[in-house]
């Protein structure tokens, strides 16, 4: 899979915006809302507001250009002040019947919410990598891009020209990429994960090499050499950042690639085994079953049965 590690991972997890909504509000206001996908991005395109996530015991003041990433199973309360009782925001969106809700004649804040869907691999990789609530602050280097994307996203939702729904989803997807870049720039306190490894400059080249050439028979010595470390130092630092040893990470990456290939291609199990660096079909099948709990042939058959009829 060509490209940088983050691009490769984003292609793998099939992250995409499935819904974008906006709130134009004049203080005082407070709404309770929920995500309609595994992740939700919330940001003030203009002004600022308070975000409270009771299930995660978090209360954040979001300034213009900041973005919060919230796990989709958590309800959120957005408001002009932290202790206001919320109205039912979901009922309000249903009543208005569109992607934008207006609260007050002279709004002083514009809130954008992007609902990000993921496939099963994406849920495994991203939900484990991100805290229930992650606050990305607009740094000097990122602020201009975030503001531009939020402005374009808001404009598409407000004006509803031809293709606006499609355009809004593309801007939201680009916003998500920018958010992940911001996260990678400052992963302080992040849980061990593939994102944290990518955010560690001394380890990222090894991840790049593994993802770019999964067929190669990598050894710990080979990987340590790509980052000019001893085997012991590399193994310890990698495990601390990723939460697993380097060769276990490689196995998981290969199995994610296998999962996608079994869903999307007609490659034989033998050909797939070879392309992922396994000397025999049996060794590949054993690794796949150990991680996914099902043999690759049975996985493919189950996915085909689950596909809707055309």
Phi-psi region of 124 (alpha: psi -120 to 50; beta: other; left: phi over 0): alpha
Closest CA to 134 of 243, 64, 40: 40
- Which of these three, 185, 220, 244, is where a domain ends? 185
Element containing residue 93 per DSSP (H, E): helix 89-96
The pTM of the full predicted model, rounded to 2 decimals, is 0.78
> Would the pLDDT of 1 be above 60?
no
Does 142 fall in a domain?
A: yes
| DSSP of 127-147 | HHHS-SEEEE---HHHHHHHH
Does 194 fall in a domain?
A: no
Q: Number of folded domains in the chain?
A: 2
165 and 205 belong to one structural domain: no
pLDDT tens column, 249-302: 999 999 989 988 998 888 999 999 999 999 999 999 999 999 888 999 998 888
The answer to whether the beta carbons of residues 177 and 10 sit under 8 Å apart is yes
Residue 29 φ/ψ, nearest 5 degrees:
-155, 155
> What distance in Å separates the CA atoms of residue 235 and residue 238, rounded to the nearest whole number?
5
74 and 160 belong to one structural domain: yes
99 and 217 belong to one structural domain: no
Which of 33-47, 179-193, 202-216 shows the lowest per-residue confidence on average (mean pLDDT)? 179-193
Tally the residues of the chain: 310
pLDDT tens column, 113-170: 999 988 877 777 788 788 899 888 877 667 788 888 988 888 888 877 788 888 888 8
Closest CA to 113 of 160, 59, 57, 75: 75
Predicted local distance difference test score (pLDDT) of residue 140: 60
User: What's the whole-number average pLDDT of the chain?
Assistant: 88
Q: What is the DSSP letter of 37?
A: S
Domain, as residue range, for 25:
5-185
> The CATH number of the domain where 224 resides is what?
1.10.10.60
Q: What is the DSSP letter of 84?
A: P
50 and 179 belong to one structural domain: yes
The answer to whether the beta carbons of residues 55 and 75 sit under 8 Å apart is yes
Predicted local distance difference test score (pLDDT) of residue 211: 86
Q: What is the DSSP letter of 106?
A: S
- Which of these three, 131, 156, 185, is where a domain ends? 185
> The CATH number of the domain where 20 resides is what?
2.60.120.280
- Which of these three, 133, 159, 185, is where a domain ends? 185
């Amino acid at each position: 899979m060509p490209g940088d590690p983050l691009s490769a991972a984003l292609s793998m997890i099939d992250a995409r915006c499935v819904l974008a909504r906006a709130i134009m509000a004049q203080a005082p206001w407070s709404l309770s809302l929920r995500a309609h996908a595994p992740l939700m991005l919330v940001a003030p395109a203009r002004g600022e507001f308070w975000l409270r996530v009771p299930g995660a015991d978090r209360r954040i003041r979001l300034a213009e250009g900041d973005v919060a990433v919230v796990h989709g199973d958590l309800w959120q309360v957005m408001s002009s002040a932290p202790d206001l009782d919320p109205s039912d925001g979901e009922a309000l969106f249903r009543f208005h019947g569109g992607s934008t809700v207006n609260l007050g004649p002279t709004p002083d804040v514009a809130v954008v919410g992007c609902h990000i869907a993921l496939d099963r691999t994406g849920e495994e990789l991203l939900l484990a990598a991100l805290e229930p609530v992650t606050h990305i602050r607009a740094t000097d280097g990122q602020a201009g891009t975030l503001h531009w994307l939020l402005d374009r996203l808001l404009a598409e939702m407000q004006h509803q020209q031809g293709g606006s729904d499609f355009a809004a989803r593309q801007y939201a997807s680009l916003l998500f990429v920018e958010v992940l870049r911001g996260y990678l720039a400052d992963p302080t306190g992040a849980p061990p994960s593939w994102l944290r490894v990518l955010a560690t400059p001394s380890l990222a080249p090894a991840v790049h090499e593994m993802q770019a050439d999964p067929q190669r028979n990598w050894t710990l010595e080979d990987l340590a050499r790509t980052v000019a470390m001893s085997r012991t130092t590399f193994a310890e630092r990698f495990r601390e950042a990723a939460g697993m040893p380097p060769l276990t990470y490689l196995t998981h990456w290969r199995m994610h690639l296998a999962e996608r290939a079994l869903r999307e291609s007609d490659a034989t199990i033998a050909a797939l085994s070879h392309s992922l660096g396994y000397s025999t079909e049996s060794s590949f099948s054993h690794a796949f079953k150990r991680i996914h709990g099902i043999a690759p042939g049975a996985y493919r058959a189950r996915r085909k049965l689950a596909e809707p009829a055309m």
